[in-house]
Amino acid sequence: MNFSTFKLKPEIIRAIDQLGYEHATQIQEKAIPQMLTGSTDIIGLAQTGTGKTAAFGLPMIQLIDFDSKRPQGLVLCPTRELCLQITGDLKLFARHVPNARIVAVYGGADIRDQISLIVAYAVLDEADEMLNMGFQEDIDDILERTPSGKRTWLFSATMPGAAAKIADSYMNHPVTITAGLPNKVAENISHACYIVKEKDRYVALKRMIDYIPDIFGLIFCRTRLETQTVAEKLMKDGYNAEPLHGDLSQMQRNQVMKKFRDRTLQLLVATDVAARGLDVDDITHVINYKLPDESERYTHRSGRTARAGKSGVSIVLVNTREVRRVKDLESKSGIRFEVKQIPSGRAVCEKQLSAMMDWLASTQVDNKE
Ligand code: AMP
């Protein structure tokens, strides 16, 4: 569906054209007309990478009266990175709208007073993640201060009990919109499982990376310490890898994310929390160095690849005792894992050699005599 089908203002259509969006994504197609009515609460079941920022951002910009100086829209999201990313996207959508003022508020700045009774539209983005991260009380506290007549739009990849409770408490007959299957990862992701002995986990990781010469990958660990350790080992072993976790300063995190976005960094080793809001479209592989506890988290992790219609691979490394958890994940999420063998040293050499040959063959030769 083309964006001109929605009744959006010409200023907004112009911005969309400039962004190069040609067709609305599934969630946009379903959510935008419904939101533009401004008359319903909406639950959008959609994962990251599906275009949901525009799905709520475009209608919000259309509905807000920018001639008034009052804050009218509020978007709550789980991390600072995501907050900055959403703010950036909204600014782009509103670039031709006169007087549009969009600000990011994070890191201790208290918004409670500012939102008092003047917010007409509230968005809860990645509600499941906010709840996973323990923000239930903050969400309650903030929503209780917003006026009851506002519209609430809640987005979540999954709908665990706590998110359903928020919908029950704060939303008015919400209309549910589903893009893709809520508990499933995108269809264009293939899932592979490698079973290793615990002591071989790191070596297996290296083998896998070596076997994919042009990998642009995100490696998930469970703790900050593990993230740091794995990244350090990879760096010491000559890989183009760096860690991203909450013990780094904001400046360090920004630098690492910039390198990854610019693709000067090939492997980013990250915790779930630090990787939230990382807006990178071309990740070829997500590697779960350790499986996450909840199946929803796996859905989020694997959704970092295969964004914007591309395909991708999500890999899990498990020891023999963890195989049971993979089965559990399969039954909860409907994902099917292909169990694969760690490539042998010889297979890795052959793969690297053939990548090298391809590279040589594609290199232009200067034919000067
Ligand atoms: P989001 O799920 O909002 O993080 O969006 C994921 C990526 O898809 C971002 O890089 C967006 O700029 C891009 N995107 C969103 N909507 C569209 C669209 N209709 N056509 C092409 N790209 C889009």
* DSSP string across 219-266: EE-SSHHHHHHHHHHHHHTT--EEEE-TTS-HHHHHHHHHHHHTTS--
Looking at residue 359, what is its pLDDT? 76
Looking at residue 185, what is its pLDDT? 47
Residue 167 has pLDDT above 50, yes or no: yes
Q: Mean of the pLDDT values across residues 21-38? A: 92
Residue 358 Cα to ligand 1 midpoint, Å, equals 32
Of the pLDDT bands very low, low, confident and very high (cuts 50, 70, 90), residue 182 is very low
Of the pLDDT bands very low, low, confident and very high (cuts 50, 70, 90), residue 113 is low
Q: Rounded to two decimals, what is the model's pTM?
A: 0.63
CB neighbourhood size of 283 (10 A) = 22
Residue 157 has pLDDT above 90, yes or no: no
CA-CA-CA-CA torsion sign (249, 251, 254, 256): negative
CB neighbourhood size of 181 (10 A) = 13
pLDDT in tens, 257-268: 999 999 999 999
**In this structure, which residue's CA is closest to atom 20 in ligand 1?**
21
| Strand residues in 40-129 grouped as ranges (E) | 42-45, 73-76, 121-124
Residue whose CB lies within 8 A of the most ligand 1 atoms, among 304, 307, 310, for a mutation test: 307
How far CA 160 is from CA of 46, 166, 238, in Å, comes to 14, 10, 41
What residues does ligand 1 touch, defined as CB less than 6 Å away? Answer: 21, 23-25, 28, 48-54, 279, 281, 307-308
Residue 341 Cα to ligand 1 midpoint, Å, equals 35
What atom of ligand 1 comes closest to residue 281's alpha carbon?
Answer: 10
CB 123, CB 74: distance < 8 Å: yes
Q: Which residues of 199-231 are buried (b: 16+ CB within 10 A; e: fewer)?
A: eebbebbbbbbbbbeebbbbbbbbebebbbebb
Residue 115 has pLDDT above 90, yes or no: no
Residue 195 has pLDDT above 80, yes or no: yes
pLDDT in tens, 214-258: 899 999 999 999 999 999 999 999 999 999 998 998 889 989 999
What atom of ligand 1 comes closest to residue 21's alpha carbon?
Answer: 20
The rounded mean pLDDT for the chain is 88
